[in-house]
Structure 1
Amino acid sequence: MRILLTGGSGMVGRNIQEHARAQAVELVAPRRSELDLSDAAAVDAYLGSLKPDLIIHAAGTVGGIGANMAAPVQFLTDNLTMGINLIMGARRAGVRRLLNIGSSCMYPRAGENPLREETVLTGALEPTNEGYALAKIACAKLCTYIAEEDPGFLYRTIIPCNLYGRHDKFDPLKAHMIPAVIAKIHSAVNTGASTVEIWGDGEARREFMYAGDLADFIFAAIDRFEDLPQDMNVGIGVDRSINDYYREIARILGYRGEFVHDLSKPSGMRRKLVDISRLKAFGWQARTGLEQGLRATLAFYEDGRGQ
Structure 2
Amino acid sequence: MTAGTVPAKRRRVWITGGNGMVGRNLREHSRAADWDIIAPGRAELDLSDRQAVLDFVRTQRPDLVIHAAGQVGGIQANMADPVGFLVNNLDMGRNVIMGAFEMGVPALINLASSCMYPRGRNHALRESDIMTGELEPTNEGYALAKIVSTRLCDYIARADADLAYRTIIPCNLYGRHDKFDPKASHLVPAIIAKVSQAVACGEDEVEIWGDGTARREFMYAADLADAVWRAAEAPAALPQLMNIGLGDDHTIRAYYEAVAQALGWTGRFRFDLTRPVGMQRKLSDVSLQRGWGWTAPTSLQDGIAATIQFYQQQAQAS
Root-mean-square deviation over aligned CA pairs: 1.0
Please say if 1:8 is aligned against 2:22.
no
Tell me the SS of whatever aligns to 2:246: coil
Aligned to 1:153: 163
Secondary structure at the aligned position of 1:94 is classed as coil
- Is 1:285–2:279 an aligned residue pair? no
Counterpart Cα distance in 2 of 1:112 and 1:185: 30
> AA paired with 1:104?
S
Query: How many residue pairs align between the two structures?
Result: 307
Aligned residue runs from structure 1 range 70-109, under 5 A = 70-109=80-119
Alignment of 1:263-282 (within 5 A): 263-282=273-292
SS in 2 for 1:304: helix
- Once the two structures are TM-superposed, the CA of residue 97 in structure 1 deviates from its matched residue by 0.2
CA–CA distance in structure 1, aligned partners of residues 39 and 123 of structure 2: 35
Contact conserved, 1:108 with 1:120, CA < 8 A, in 2?
Answer: yes
Deviation at residue 111 of structure 1 after TM alignment = 2.5
User: Could you state the TM-score of these two structures normalised by the residue count of structure 1?
Assistant: 0.98
The gaps in structure 1 that reach 5 residues or longer are: none
User: For 1:154 and 1:212, how far apart are their aligned partners in 2?
Assistant: 24
Structure 1 counterpart of 2:146, which letter?
A: K
1:48-127 matches, within 5 Å, as 48-127=58-137
The match for 2:184 is: 174
* Alpha-carbon separation, structure 1, partners of 2:279 and 2:196: 26
Partner of 1:43: 53
**CA offset at residue 153 of structure 1?**
1.4
The one-letter code matched in structure 2 to 1:68 is: N
User: What residue number does 2:5 align with?
Assistant: none
1:212 paired residue number: 222
**Deviation per residue, 1:63-112 (Å, 9 max, x gap):** 00000000000000000000001111111100010000000000000234
CA contact (8 A) 1:79 1:132 kept: yes
Paired residue secondary structure (1:180)? helix
**Maintained 8 Å contact 2:157/2:163:** yes
Amino acid at match of 2:157: A
Matching residue of 2:8:
none
1:21-36 pair list within 5 angstroms: 21-36=31-46
Provide TM-score, normalisation by structure 2: 0.95
Corresponding residue SS for 2:314: coil
Q: Does 1:139 align with 2:149?
A: yes
Residues in 2 aligned to 1:182 and 1:113: alpha-carbon distance in whole angstroms: 29
Distance (Å, rounded) in 1 between the aligned partners of 2:51 and 2:261: 51
- Offset at residue 209 of structure 1 (A): 0.4
Moved >3 Å (runs of 4+): none
Deviations for 1:218-237, whole angstroms, at most 9, x for unmatched residues? 11111232210000000011
Tell me the distance in 2 between the aligned counterparts of 1:113 and 1:5.
33
Residue in 1 that maps onto 2:7: none
Q: Which runs of 5 or more residues in structure 2 are unaligned?
A: 1-10
Q: Which amino acid aligns with 1:119?
A: D
